């Protein structure tokens, strides 16, 4: 099956700092999705990417679909305490009948006020 | 408001008992999914369904069963055959199984005593 590596596993930052995390795949994906999950809750979709090179923003969040189609990046600018949570990437392979999403193991973000 | 409702939020079960987790969506989505989440792991697919009266096994279907008698409902039964059932279970839906974004419910935490 597809392998999807997400890094870093965890981050401890000060309020106001910028954050970067990324996911890399062993396969070519045609879709990248980024989710945020707070403790005890379901993941919430932040950004969806469908084209190589696509750069999409959602408030202070910006995500990019890598040109190789094997990676994606999420940046958070000027972090605030409510950014705390686990951020997951998810990808879907190109073509064929495999439409299952593959999920990264998540990046745990802690923001110190 | 449109969304996905999972119930119960918390459930305790004795070993050897079957338990059913409810998932209802009013988003008019064709595809529905069940995932299992364990600490430090990515989401693992249990079962998915693209249309009513049809469903397929995911990566970890052993010890679980589902039904899809109505478009809006996709209940998951955790049977006594599941050797390690204590986990956080997430239901999701999407417009189709091949494209589109996945939307999640708030999750159900099952604890086996």
- For A1-55, write each residue's pLDDT tens digit: 567 899 999 999 999 999 999 999 998 998 999 999 999 999 999 999 999 999 9
pLDDT in tens, B52-89: 999 999 999 999 999 999 999 999 999 988 889 999 99
What pLDDT, on the 0 to 100 scale, is given for residue B41? 79
Do residue A48 and residue B98 have CB atoms under 8 angstroms apart? Answer: no
Taking the C-alpha atoms of residue B13 and residue B11, their distance in angstroms, rounded to an integer, is 7
Strands (E), A1-84: 4-7, 10-14, 19-25, 29-37, 44-49, 55-58, 61-65, 71-76
Do residue A104 and residue B102 have CB atoms under 8 angstroms apart? Answer: no
The residue to which tokens 């999920």 are assigned: A103
What pLDDT, on the 0 to 100 scale, is given for residue B97? 60
Do residue A33 and residue B101 have CB atoms under 8 angstroms apart? Answer: yes
What pLDDT, on the 0 to 100 scale, is given for residue B22? 98
Residue of A nearest to B36 (CA): A42
> Per-residue pLDDT for B16 more than 60?
yes
CB of A89 closer than 8 Å to CB of A29: no
Whether B60 has its CB under 8 Å from any CB of chain A: the answer is no
> Per-residue pLDDT for A107 more than 80?
yes
Q: Which of B6, B42, B102 sits opposite A105 (nearest CB)?
A: B42
Taking the C-alpha atoms of residue B14 and residue A67, their distance in angstroms, rounded to an integer, is 50
What pLDDT, on the 0 to 100 scale, is given for residue A3? 74
Please give the span between the terminal C-alpha atoms of chain A, in angstroms, as a whole number: 40
Whether B49 has its CB under 8 Å from any CB of chain A: the answer is no
The structure tokens listed for B46 are: 């249990």
What are the CA-CA distances from residue B31 to residues A51, A111, B24 (Å)?
A: 23, 36, 12
CB atoms within 10 A of CB B5: 13
> Per-residue pLDDT for B35 more than 60?
yes
């Amino acid at each position: 099956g597809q392998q999807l590596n997400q890094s870093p596993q965890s981050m401890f930052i000060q309020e106001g700092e910028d954050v970067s995390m990324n996911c890399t795949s062993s396969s070519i994906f045609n879709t990248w999705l980024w989710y945020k999950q707070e403790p005890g809750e379901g993941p919430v979709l932040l950004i969806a990417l469908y084209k190589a090179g696509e750069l999409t923003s959602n408030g202070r969040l910006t995500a990019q679909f890598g040109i190789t189609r094997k990676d994606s990046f999420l940046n958070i600018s000027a972090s605030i305490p409510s950014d705390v949570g686990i951020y997951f990437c998810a990808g879907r392979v190109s073509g064929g009948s495999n439409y299952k999403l593959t999920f990264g193991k998540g990046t745990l973000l802690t923001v110190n006020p | 408001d449109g969304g996905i409702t999972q119930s119960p939020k918390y459930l305790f079960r004795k070993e050897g008992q079957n338990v059913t987790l409810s998932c209802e969506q009013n988003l008019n989505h064709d595809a529905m999914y069940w995932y299992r989440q364990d600490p430090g792991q990515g989401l693992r697919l249990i079962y998915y369904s693209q249309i009513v009266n049809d469903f397929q096994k995911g990566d970890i279907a052993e010890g679980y069963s589902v039904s899809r008698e109505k478009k809006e409902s996709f209940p998951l039964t955790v049977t006594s055959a599941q050797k390690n059932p204590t986990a956080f279970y997430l239901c999701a839906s999407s417009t189709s199984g091949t494209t589109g974004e996945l939307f999640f419910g708030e999750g159900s935490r099952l604890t086996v005593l």
